[in-house]
Amino acid sequence: MAHMLLNPFDQRQVMRREDFEIFHYNNPACCSCPPHQHEFFELFFLLNDRIDDIVEGMRYSLSPGNVVLVAPGQMHRPDVAGPARSIDRFVLWISTEYVRSITDALPQLHYALWGDMTGRNLIQPDDETAAVFRQLLFALHREDARPDADSAALCRSIIAQLLIYCSRSIASRTDIAPHKAEQRYREIMRVYEHIVANLPDRDLTVSALAERFFMDKNTLTRQFKRQVGMTPGECIRRHRLEAVRRQIRRGAPMQQACAECGFSDYSAFYRAFRQAYGISPRDYAAQAAGGAHGIDERQEATHS
């Protein structure tokens, strides 16, 4: 199966598509690839042999099952010692817009991919995780070749899984001293986790968070938005709205759902819900009760 779907080697370094492109190569062409950089993310997965990959002047030694994740703008090239030989590998290109559409709702993944990746490009998963990478890449390669109406959604799910496994591997590394930015990220993530765990608390405000975590209110707001992609106030409101939606789908009374999710003013909740989802809470409840949510999934993704 490993060689059923091979691509002829393509020397271009520019994407033709707006989402992603995946290549399964098994040839020696990468031996002579010159240093280059992209405006997109590149994931390189080695299936056999051993090679080096040089990213921003740092040399990484790869074994089968290793991954190199290159961020946009990073100069890199593979370096194969010894005689020219066939190298079995996957190369996955993902546009920045496509990555951002996945990471915006995933703070840990957002930070891992959009933060400073200097010195953190090499991912050396354990055998079990390497097998997962391999299975996902083969599945993505097959799905991308299918003329199926559902393939795009499945491909997106697979790419999200690949990026999350990359993020977890990056976060678990202990051989690199934490950057100041990483320390601040961890502080902000403690705030984020506190928000998610305390949504019913009506005293959950930006001022209260700043006091609890010994931060200036403006600094908290600025750093939180940089790391999570939204302000603390927006994060509280968004998670509360999602909590109310879950309650509504389970058939909870509207006023009870609002109270249990931290909303003290129904009119403010009504405006926020309608602005976020394009439908009134009562209409949503009626549609949910009838088994049809009536909200376009793409519209939901935009607001979640």
Q: Are residues 65 and 186 in the same domain?
A: no
Last residue of one domain, picked from the residues 137, 172, 207:
172
Q: Are residues 159 and 28 in the same domain?
A: yes
Supply the pLDDT for residue 174: 54
Asked if pLDDT for residue 4 goes beyond 70, the answer is no
* 3 domain residue, yes or no: no
* 6 domain residue, yes or no: no
List 123's β-bridge partners, or say none.
67
Q: Are residues 78 and 141 in the same domain?
A: yes
Q: How confident is the model at residue 225 (pLDDT cuts 50, 70, 90)?
A: confident
Q: 240 or 114: which carries more pLDDT confidence?
A: 240
The residues near 182 (Cβ < 8 Å, ≥ 6 apart) are 115
DSSP 36: B
**Strand ranges inside 109-253, DSSP E:** 122-123
* 36 domain residue, yes or no: yes
> What is the Cα Rg of the chain in Å?
23
Total domain count, the chain: 2
Residue in 278, 199, 288, 280 with CA at minimum distance from that of residue 252: 288
Q: Are residues 72 and 216 in the same domain?
A: no
CB atoms within 10 A of CB 250: 9
Residue type (1 letter), 286? A
Asked if pLDDT for residue 293 goes beyond 60, the answer is no
Asked if pLDDT for residue 300 goes beyond 70, the answer is no
Identify the domain containing residue 197 by its residue range: 180-303
Q: Are residues 162 and 206 in the same domain?
A: no
Report the Cα–Cα distance between both ends of the chain, in Å, rounded.
38
CATH assignment of the domain containing 204: 1.10.10.60
Last residue of one domain, picked from the residues 109, 138, 172:
172
- Measure the CA–CA gap between 242 and 239, rounded to whole angstroms: 5
- Measure the CA–CA gap between 16 and 14, rounded to whole angstroms: 7
Q: Are residues 117 and 253 in the same domain?
A: no
Put residue 119 in one of left, alpha, beta given phi > 0 → left and psi -120 to 50 → alpha. left
Q: Are residues 113 and 253 in the same domain?
A: no
Q: How confident is the model at residue 124 (pLDDT cuts 50, 70, 90)?
A: very high
* 8 domain residue, yes or no: no
Q: Are residues 165 and 186 in the same domain?
A: no
Last residue of one domain, picked from the residues 145, 172, 199:
172
Q: Are residues 47 and 118 in the same domain?
A: yes
DSSP 66: -
CATH assignment of the domain containing 85: 2.60.120.280
* 101 domain residue, yes or no: yes
* 224 domain residue, yes or no: yes
Q: Are residues 203 and 164 in the same domain?
A: no
- Measure the CA–CA gap between 188 and 261, rounded to whole angstroms: 22
Could you give the residue ranges of the DSSP H alpha helices within 201-280? 206-212, 217-228, 232-249, 254-260, 266-277
The pTM of the full predicted model, rounded to 2 decimals, is 0.60
The residues near 283 (Cβ < 8 Å, ≥ 6 apart) are 294
Q: Are residues 25 and 166 in the same domain?
A: yes
Residue appearing with tokens 């509504």 = 248
The pLDDT tens digits of the residues spanning 129-170 come to: 999 999 999 999 999 998 788 999 999 999 999 999 998 887
